[in-house]
Structure 1
Amino acid sequence: MPTPDRTSLDAIVQAARDILESQGLAQLTMQAVAGRVGVRAPSLYKRVRNRDALVRLVSEATLLDLEKHLNAVPATREPQENLAALLRALRAFAHARPAAYHLIFTNVPAPAKPDLDLLTRAATPLLRIAADLTGPGQTLEAARTITAWAHGFISMELADAFNLGGDVDRAYEYGLTHLTTAITKPT
C-alpha cells in the first residue's frame, strides 16, 4: 500500500519562496524545504527532481506573480503615464519580494532557468507600452533600456547603495520621467 502524500507541490514551492526571502538563495536547499514542509528530503524528490528544478519553480512562481502585478496596473490613454505607473508597480513588487525579484534577474544554470514563455508574458505589459512610446521598430530596444535602468536603480536601492543622501523616491521619479522623454518618438 502506498504511503499517503504529506505535502503538495504548492506547499513545497511556497516553502521555497519563504526560505528564499528570509534566508537567501544560498540557503534554498532541498533539505531546508523538506524541513519547512515537515517531510524528509528524499520525499521531496517525488515532486521536485533536484535543486535546479526547485529554483526554476520558484522563479516561475515569481514571474507569474509579477505578470499579474504588472497586468493589474490600470492603463490610461497616455503611454508616458502608463510607463510611469508600470515602473512604480515594478519597484513596489521588488520591495515586497526582494530576493524573488533578484532571482528572476540572476544567472542560474540552464536547468534552473524559467520557461521563456513566462519571461515573455511577464514582459508583455512593458513591451506594449514601449511600442506605444517608440513605435514598432524600436520596441525591444526601448524595453531593454527601460528594464536596464529600472533594474539598476531598484537593485542599488535594495542594496542600500545610494549613500549620498537625497530623496530616493524623487530620484526614481526623475529618472523615469527623463527616460520616458528620451525614448518617446517625436510627434
Structure 2
Amino acid sequence: MPAPQRTSLAAIRRAAAELLEADGPGGLTMQAVAERVGVRAPSLYKHVPGRDALVRLVAEDAATELGVALEAAAPPGTTPRDGLEAAASALRRFAHARPAAFRLVLSPGAEGTRPDPEVSRRAAATVLRLAAELAGPQQALPAARTITAWASGFVAMELADAFRMGGDVDAAFTFGVDALARALAQPSQT
C-alpha cells in the first residue's frame, strides 16, 4: 500500500504564491515551498517536475486571477471608456495587492516559466474586447498592447514610488485613461 500524500498540488500552488509575494522570485524555490507545505523537497517532484514548472503554475494562477478581475470590473455592455477605466483600475488594484505576481505576469521570463498561451489569451480577453470596441476590430491587438503598456507602466512606476514630483497620482491615472480612450476611439465614437 503506497504512503498517503502529505500535500497536494493546490497546497503547493498556494504556498508558492505566498512565497513569491513574501520573498520575490528568488525566494520561490522547491526547498522553500516544501518547507512551507511540510514535506521534503523530493516529495514536491511527485506534483511538479521542477522550479520552472512551479513558477509557470504561479504565473498561470496569477494571470487567471487577473483575467477574472478584469472581466468582473468591465463586463460586456460597459461603455468602452468606462470599461477601460474599470479594467485599468482592476489591474492597478491587483498590482497593489500582489506586486510580485503582477511583475511575474507582465514581464517575460524563461520560456518554461511563462503561462500557457491559452491562459494568457483568456486573461487578456477583456482588454482585447475593450480595445476592439474603442479602436475597431482591425486595430484591436495594437490598441490592446497600447492599453496594456500604458497601464502596466503606470502601475510599475507607482509601485516603484517613481512619481515624486508631487501632484495627485489618482488624477494622473484618470487623465491617462481619458487620453487613451480619446486616442484610441474610432471616429464614430468621438
Per the TM superposition, whether the score is higher than 0.5 is yes
Native 8 Å contact 2:74 2:126 kept in 1: no
Q: TM-score, normalised by structure 2?
A: 0.95
Match of residue 144 from structure 1: 145
Deviation track 1:97-131 (CA, whole Å, cap 9, x = no partner) reads: 11001101222111111100010001001111111
Deviation for aligned residue 1:147: 0.5
Match of residue 4 from structure 1: 4
Cα separation, partners in 2 of 1:134 and 1:10, compared to 1, 3 Å: same
Deviation for aligned residue 1:90: 1.1
State the AA in 2 paired with 1:79: P
Deviation track 1:127-179 (CA, whole Å, cap 9, x = no partner) reads: 11111111111110100011000010000001111111111111111111111
99-108 vs 41-50, which moves further: 99-108
Deviation track 1:18-51 (CA, whole Å, cap 9, x = no partner) reads: 0000110011000000000000000001100000
Cα distance in 1 for residues equivalent to 2:88 and 2:109: 25
State the AA in 1 paired with 2:87: L
State the AA in 2 paired with 1:141: P
- After TM superposition, the structure 1 = structure 2 runs for residues 151-162 of structure 1, keeping only pairs within 5 Å, are 151-162=152-163
Match of residue 103 from structure 1: 104
Cα separation, partners in 2 of 1:177 and 1:42, compared to 1, 3 Å: same
Aligned structure 1 segments of 4 or more residues deviating by more than 6 angstroms: none
Q: TM-score, normalised by structure 1?
A: 0.97
Identity of aligned residues (%): 55
Match of residue 53 from structure 2: 53
- After TM superposition, the structure 1 = structure 2 runs for residues 67-86 of structure 1, keeping only pairs within 5 Å, are 67-75=67-75, 76-86=77-87
RMSD: 1.0
SS at 2:106 equivalent:
coil
45-54 vs 67-76, which moves further: 67-76
Cα distance in 1 for residues equivalent to 2:71 and 2:55: 24
Match of residue 38 from structure 1: 38
Native 8 Å contact 2:74 2:84 kept in 1: no
Match of residue 128 from structure 1: 129
User: How many residue pairs end up in the alignment?
Assistant: 187
SS at 1:72 equivalent:
helix
Cα distance in 1 for residues equivalent to 2:181 and 2:80: 9
89-98 vs 71-80, which moves further: 71-80
Deviation for aligned residue 1:84: 1.0
State the AA in 2 paired with 1:80: R
- After TM superposition, the structure 1 = structure 2 runs for residues 19-38 of structure 1, keeping only pairs within 5 Å, are 19-38=19-38
Deviation for aligned residue 1:5: 0.3
SS at 2:31 equivalent:
helix
For structure 2, the residue ranges without an aligned partner over 5 or more in a row are none
State the AA in 2 paired with 1:177: D
